[in-house]
Chain A
Amino acid sequence: MEEKQVRIQLEDAAYTYEGASSPALSGASAIVREGEFVAVLGHNGSGKSTLAKLLNALYLPSEGRVVVCGYDTSREEFVWEIRRRAGMIFQNPDNQIVATVVKEDVAFGLENLGVPAEEMYPRVESALASVRMSRYADSAPHQLSGGQKQRVAVAGILAMEPSVLIADEATAMLDPSGRRDVLETIRDLNRNKGITVVWITHFMEEAALADRILVVSDGRIVKEGIPREVFSDVEGMRALHLDVPRMTSLAADLRREGMPLREGILTVDDLVKEVERLCPLKSAI
């Protein structure tokens, strides 16, 4: 099988905040390939936001190397190219909107790049369509819900035609429907437009949907694997101040009581299938 192109490469990267006695992140090595959806988990203060900021040259590694879409982030002349190709969305929807009309906010990055007007508007329209926000193009951002604002922020990034999208707890401040909405939008962009996603989150159920998970603890990448592997270690995850999806935890409890459920249960659907296998309906016998 042909190997997909490397989008992000961390080689033994470290970062120390000014005045701090120890690094916030050290010895971080990882590769993210084109089209992957990688979740990053870690407790508050683990270093996962530092990791995110290294990925689009907001921070430069104090040791090691970070290469994004083929560009070394430490080379100053590449900074704008890197930020165009690896867009970032943050936790607070209210801190990311700059304009007073949605479509102008989406066009903001393009204007900065000096994209001509006749090219700009089709790109803005298509970006808004991708996040299902076309009908709000002329609205004022303050009239939107949190989830809608986050989708406008995503559209602003999409207009730049990026290869990578980095989301740092983008759903943390949203209500349940806003969370579902933003996550579904990003998964759709990942599957149907091939955009590589780095998804930092505190929600285990969101991480369960990723292709791969990186776990950061005390400034180091301590685990890496597909969700089924990473979440099979219930006690290990809890020791890292994290958790496992609720269905994984329920399945582990039931297994302890003797119920022979298979390993790797992450979602409601997984558990429904296992119950159907182990407890056939009486009427069906």
Chain B
Amino acid sequence: MSIEVRHLTHAYAKGTALQTVALDDISFTVREGEFVGIVGHTGSGKSTLVQHLNGLLKPTSGQVLVDGEDLNGEKVDRRALRRRIGLVFQYPEYQLFEETVARDIAFGPKNMGLPADEIDRRVRRAMESVHLDYAKYAESSPFELSGGQMRRVAIAGVLAMEPEVLILDEPTAGLDPRGRDRILTMLEELRARDHTTVLMVSHSMEDMARLADRLLVMSEGRLAADGTPREIFGRPELMRSVGLDVPEAARLCAALRQRGYDLPPDLYRMEELRGCLLRLWKEGNAC
């Protein structure tokens, strides 16, 4: 499933004195199977953007095309389209409400009117995807779990709808290092297993370095840059000018280059840097 955003503009409180342009002429295309990272400072428009991608907000002007169909077109079955695009909000664990983990995850599939055995299959598969043991947790209350586990239950609830595109708004915010790592590992596996298209909003450049094929950089409601992590992280001055940063590996690489070391200008992953530093030490040159 592909998503194409064309000249998307969104103004809050349109026509009043408080009118604010949250998104200003945004265009990009997400291809099937891509992992796209969306980064930007607070208030840059990231959350407003993702809420357009599954039809929660309507553009003031411009279009969102899903497999070529206008998400806000007159004859479109929006409910059906929305099911194919799962959105995980910020701090989604605040929205858990059922008495058991299994029932919470089953809520979406049940609303879709699926038969009981299909619901059960989906709940089991979603729990497996987020690394929650069915036998151990299905009948637990979600409110007895740790913060990281609750977050994974909430994500499983979206996965149980079996969306073709998964959108996550800051899925690792507030988690401890292990909780963060679990979510990232889960997303890596999901991509490898189901080829799910993923769009992830995050403040962590390190998470983006690990997962993203492509980065969209938002600033003041505009798309400030669109490129591979290598292209984007190779421009630290751009990233700093929009209130962001580059991963630490890229910072170390830049600091060493500044001192005259001959390293490639666009390193941003720890593994690459490790190899280069070892060659530098053993052979006296990095490349």
Binding site for B on A (CB under 8 A): 42-46, 91, 145-147, 169, 172-180, 202, 204-205, 238, 241-243, 246-247, 249-250, 253-254, 257, 259, 268-269, 271-272, 275-276, 278-279, 281-284
Does chain A have a CB within 8 A of B148? yes
Contact across chains for B206 and A246 when beta carbons are under 8 A apart: yes
> In this complex, what residue of B is CB-closest to A276?
B259
Minimum Cβ distance to chain A for residue B155 (Å):
16
Closest to B180 in A: A202
- Residue contact A257 to B278, C-beta cutoff 8 Å: yes
Cross-chain contact B43 with A145 (CB below 8 angstroms): yes
Known: A175-B41, A175-B42, A241-B176. 19 other contacts (CB 8 A): A46-B176, A91-B174, A172-B173, A172-B174, A175-B244, A176-B203, A177-B243, A177-B244, A179-B203, A241-B177, A242-B176, A243-B177, A247-B252, A250-B252, A250-B273, A250-B274, A254-B278, A257-B274, A279-B281
A180 to B252 alpha-carbon distance, docked (Å): 18
Q: Count chain B residues whose beta carbon lies closer than 8 angstroms to a beta carbon of A.
A: 38
Contact of B73 with A by CB under 8 A: no
Give complex CA distance A169, B146 in Å.
17
Q: Once the chains bind, are A145 and B176 in contact (CB under 8 Å)?
A: no
Q: In whole angstroms, what is the CA distance A179 to B270 when docked?
A: 22
Set A44, A249, A281: member contacting B260, Cβ < 8 A: A281
Question: Can you pick out 7 interface pairs between chain A and chain B where the beta carbons lie within 8 Å of each other?
Answer: A42-B176, A174-B203, A176-B244, A241-B178, A272-B252, A272-B256, A284-B260
Distance in Å: Cβ of A177 to nearest Cβ of chain B: 4
Q: Is the CB of A275 within 8 A of B256?
A: yes
Interface contact B284-A282, CB-CB below 8 Å: yes
CB distance from B40 to the nearest CB of A (A): 8
Contacts A176-B205, A243-B177 known; A275 to B280 CB distance under 8 Å?
yes
Residues of A within 8 A of B243 (CB): 175-178
* Inter-subunit contact A174/B270 (CB<8 Å): no
Q: Report whether A175 and B203 are in contact in the complex, using a CB–CB cutoff of 8 Å.
A: yes
Contacts of B261 in A (CB 8 A): 275, 279, 281
B169 cross-chain contacts in A, Cβ below 8 A: none
Those of B220-251 within 8 Å (CB) of chain A: 243-245, 248-249, 251
Contact A44 B179 (CB under 8 A): yes
In the complex, chain A residues whose CB is within 8 Å of the CB of B252: 247, 250, 268, 271-272
Is the CB–CB distance between B176 and A202 below 8 Å?
yes
- When chains A and B are docked, how far (Å) is the Cα of A276 from the Cα of B148? 41
**Residue B176 contacts which of A44, A177, A249, A275 (CB distance < 8 angstroms)?**
A44
Report the Cα distance A247→B148, complex, angstroms: 25
Report which residue of B203, B255, B285 has the largest number of chain A beta carbons within 10 angstroms of its beta carbon.
B203
Q: Which residue of B lies closest to A169 (CB)?
A: B174
- Whether B41 lies near A246 (C-beta < 8 A) is no
Q: Using Cβ atoms and an 8 Å threshold, which residues of chain B touch A243?
A: 177-178
Q: How far is the CA of A41 from the CA of B146 in the complex (A)?
A: 17
Tell me whether A45 and B146 are in contact (CB under 8 A).
yes
Out of A176, A241, A284, which one reaches B245, CB within 8 Å?
A: A176
Q: Which single residue of chain A is at the shortest CB-CB distance from B206?
A: A246
> Does residue B132 face the partner (Cβ distance < 8 Å to A)?
no
Q: Which residues of B contact A241 (CB under 8 A)?
A: 176-179
Residue contact A259 to B248, C-beta cutoff 8 Å? no
Q: Which residues of B contact A176 (CB under 8 A)?
A: 41, 203, 205, 243-245
Contact A178 B273 (CB under 8 A): no
Residue of B nearest to A280 (CB): B284
B62 within 8 A of A: no
Contacting residue for B174 out of A173, A175, A276, CB 8 A: A173
Of chain A, the residue at the smallest CB distance from B149 is A44
* A259 and B270 contacting across the interface, CB-CB below 8 Å: no
